[in-house]
Amino acid sequence: MKWFLQSWESNKEGFENYKKNLRYEILKTMADIRTAIYFGNSVTTGIYGRFSARTFTCSEEEWARLKKSHFVPIAITIAEKKNFFHWELEFPEVFFGRDIFGKQRTGFDAVIGNPPWASVRGKHRAQSFDDADVAYLERQFPDNTYMPNAFEYFILQSLKLLAKGGYHSYIVPDRLGFNESLEYLRKVLLNDYTLNFLLYKVPFPGVIADTLIYGLKAIKSKKSHTITVTEFGKDPIMISHNFYINTAYTAFLFFTNADIFKAIEQIDAAETIELDKTAETTGGFGGKSSKITDTRKNDNQIVMIKGANVKRYAINGCLYFEFIKENITGRTTDVDKLGAIPKVLLRKTGTVLYAAYENTGIYPEQSLYFLFNFKGQYNPLYIL
């Protein structure tokens, strides 16, 4: 394909009439056959290879005979139904032509738009995707098989179509900036391109979801590069490329004002001490849930707490449990650790990080981490 299109470009007619050429028809049919394999056209690699070799230099008469092969009309029918689109064939001047300076083109100078926000898997899967579509897309873009969305595929395809030094910008849901399952895509944008700006929460009529507009250049960024990050209607903040590289899940965080970001930068730059240098850490005991009660049932039960009891810097209520072997399912069972005084308790679950100080020896259950046996000059209240 590349050889044919490049050689046709050198023709004085350029690409204006190339779709009338027999070679174009052959190339498009071959591309359709290849793609249709993913949609039910049973053609083995061997058959396709032999067929392709015969078409490379065939005459118009021979091509008329080859087109009668049983899998060709099937492929053409599937291609029409699925609207196959072969970018290099449809825009040869973009991928194989030359610019006004005579330099070889490698793709589009700009790709911008608003891709569809449509679930590809799960109970909310868009009706436009059937099982064959999903299988094909996941084969082409295998990095996210957990609830992928169509906008991911549009981003990845756009990057493939972009010329070196070209510009790309999309309007997408703001979860591109935060979801753990999309970390792979954020790493691509940061590591392989120069991310120029992130604009959050631009309002659009009829759109409920929060939005993110991003813009990038198809060139690898310098280490010193800074990204303009803005929440709509507020002042922009310049955030370094390396800041995002080092955030958890490579999240594209944004801040309501520059002072907050400066404070975070100062904290990030401050000297850090590893937690195990300040205290010992472990998790609570595992107990059968049926044996944990809201009220004391007998004198053998001890006072205990679960993650749900820990609020911000406070312990709200308690539970009761008979701490005997047959009631324990595992985790930490060392009573010296569980009953240590003082402790700093840390909830394992929830969207907010809650921690509290405890100095009565209450046993924590497995839904809590805790710090104990504080070392040296580190006060547990300071650690909290």
Give the global pTM: 0.71
Can you give the pLDDT at residue 5? Answer: 52
d(CA 214, CA 212): 6
Hey, how many other C-beta atoms are within 10 angstroms of the C-beta on 50?
Answer: 11
Per-residue pLDDT tens for 307-321? 999 999 999 999 999
Average the pLDDT over each of 96-105, 156-165, 296-305, 324-333 and give the range with the smallest value: 96-105
Q: In what order do the strands lie in the sheet with 355-358?
A: 280-283, 368-372, 343-347, 355-358
CATH 3.40.50.970 applies to domain 108-269:
no
Can you give the pLDDT at residue 12? Answer: 44
For residues 6-35, average pLDDT: 74
Residues whose CB falls within 8 Å of the CB of residue 30, separated by 6 or more in sequence, listed in order: 51, 52, 55
Hey, how many other C-beta atoms are within 10 angstroms of the C-beta on 341?
Answer: 11
Rounded to the nearest 10 degrees, the angle between the axes of helix 71-82 and helix 22-36 is 80
Can you give the pLDDT at residue 86? Answer: 94
Residues 90/80, Cβ–Cβ less than 8 Å: no
d(CA 143, CA 219): 22
CA atoms within 13 A on the CB side of 158: 27
Residue ranges covered by each domain of the chain? 2-95, 108-269, 275-383
Residues 278/321, Cβ–Cβ less than 8 Å: no
Per-residue pLDDT tens for 119-147? 887 666 767 788 898 889 989 998 887 88
Per-residue pLDDT tens for 39-57? 988 888 899 989 989 988 8
Can you give the pLDDT at residue 376? Answer: 76
- Sign of the Cα pseudo-torsion (213, 142, 160, 33, in order): negative
Say yes or no to pLDDT of 260 above 60: yes
